[in-house]
Amino acid sequence: MLGPSVSVDTEPADAAHDELRRFVALRVLQEGYDLTADRERADARVLVRVRDEGTEIQVQGAAATRSFAVEPGPAALQRLEVLHRALIGIEAVARVEPDAERDPGVSLSLSEPSDRAESLMAAVVAAALADGRRVTTDAHPDDTLVCITPRGDLAEVAVGPAVDGCAPATAVVSLQDDVDASARDVMQQTQASSWILPEPPEGKESFEAQPEPPPEAPAVVPVEATLRRDEEVPLQGPARAGLRLGMEGGIVARAPTVDASFRARVRAGAYDGMGGRLELGVIPSSNEKIQVVDTVLAVGPDWQHRIGKRGGVHVAATLGADIHTYAVDSWSAADVSWVCGLPVAASVELRGETRMHLSVLPEVSGVATSHAVNDGEVWRRSAWRIGAAVGFSYGWRIE
């Protein structure tokens, strides 16, 4: 069964409002509706009128019209309100005629959502509609299927008959440069491809689509970048946010000596930007007369930034508690003081979301500590300490 087709326009229809039109059109497409540039044949016609006093959204169907108003406000919030009202109107008025025919169109598939990949997808949608093509995410066998696979700062693009699924990549385009130019290249490939469907055998309802054998290989659009198959690149586009767990071990210098240290942490927040971290550190330091363990539990803001394809830098500011436990013979006790730190680390991606970290850990606790047995000092550490550690972390993309 055919799904409703929708046209999306803005008034005024100028470059200043093109981003809003693209945003609404892409989200409508992702909600499962087809897009068309033919307003007369559309099952729902969305018109967004932008005025100084507010924005009006009119959604017109064959038998009904719905109108909504959005008051002026922050641009990001306003466009979400516009989208919400448009979807309500489409659901209310869009009706598909039982005998409606479906023209072959362009079906889009995006393997991994990301801001830059969606910008390319929105540009492809705009280019397809400008060419008068129907755009869908629900592929029909006679559609031309465009598959976009983000790979870091690049995207592999495959064009072929929808019945065959995603074909091998026919081009690699940049996600950092002009996405409109990349979208025009993609549309040239769809226009250079011709797919015909044979008549199904008598008595059978299904059929297979076969490409029309061309006299020569279809022209391949020149690409802006080359992806070497032996080069390791990220298999996903940039994520918006992530969760990362890490463990590391090393040494910490506290006058007058050096001790071993171990640390575990969890970090959540922007994949490239601000977040927060929770740390648990353990510093054992014992001798033949006393056993001492400092346990540090701290929390604070964390900033990370990717450098190149694999590198990264991480900076945090932490504040927490230093639980100082000690035992002499069969007697034990504990003290608690505050501790603050400024961890700095460099990291490199090993494989997937696994990273190796090299960290420098300057910290200061509330007090310098010493212990004496029979009036003789057996253990002493300064309030200031600085550590060095190496460790590993693994992350998950959560948005």
pLDDT exceeding 90 applies to what percent of the chain? 32
Average confidence score pLDDT of the chain: 82
pLDDT at position 197, please? Answer: 44
Average pLDDT over residues 81-110: 81
CA distance 223 to 54: 43
The beta-strand segments (E) located in 271-353 are 273-286, 291-307, 311-316, 318-328, 331-341, 344-351
- 253 with 389: CB under 8 angstroms? no
Using DSSP, state whether 17 is helix, strand or coil. helix
Give tens-digit pLDDT for 284-321. Answer: 998 889 999 999 999 999 999 988 878 999 999 999 99
Structural contact between residues 280 and 293, judged by C-beta atoms closer than 8 angstroms: no
pLDDT interval class at 239 (50, 70, 90): low
In the sheet with 34-35, reading across from the earlier edge strand, the strands are 65-70, 54-60, 44-51, 5-11, 34-35, 135-136, 106-110, 144-151, 154-161, 171-174
Q: Given the structure tokens 């909504």, which residue do they identify?
A: 68
With cut-offs at 50, 70 and 90, classify the pLDDT of residue 381.
very high
Range 81-104 average pLDDT: 80
Q: Is the pLDDT of residue 100 over 80?
A: no
- Among 39-48, 196-205, 229-238, 373-382, where is mean pLDDT lowest? 229-238
* pLDDT score of 244: 93
The answer, yes or no, to whether residue 224 has pLDDT greater than 60, is no
Which residue ranges form the domains of the chain, and what is each CATH number?
A: 1-101 (3.30.160), 103-200+207-238 (no CATH), 241-397 (2.40.160.20)
Structure tokens at 246: 């890490």
pLDDT 10s digits, 20-76: 888 888 888 888 888 888 888 888 899 999 888 888 999 988 888 899 988 888 888
> Is the per-residue pLDDT at 215 higher than 60?
no
Average pLDDT over residues 232-257: 77
Q: Is pLDDT above 70 for 17?
A: yes
pLDDT of residue 175: 76
CB 305 within 8 A of CB 347: no
Model pLDDT, residue 2: 63
Q: What pLDDT, on a 0 to 100 scale, did the predictor assign at position 231?
A: 44
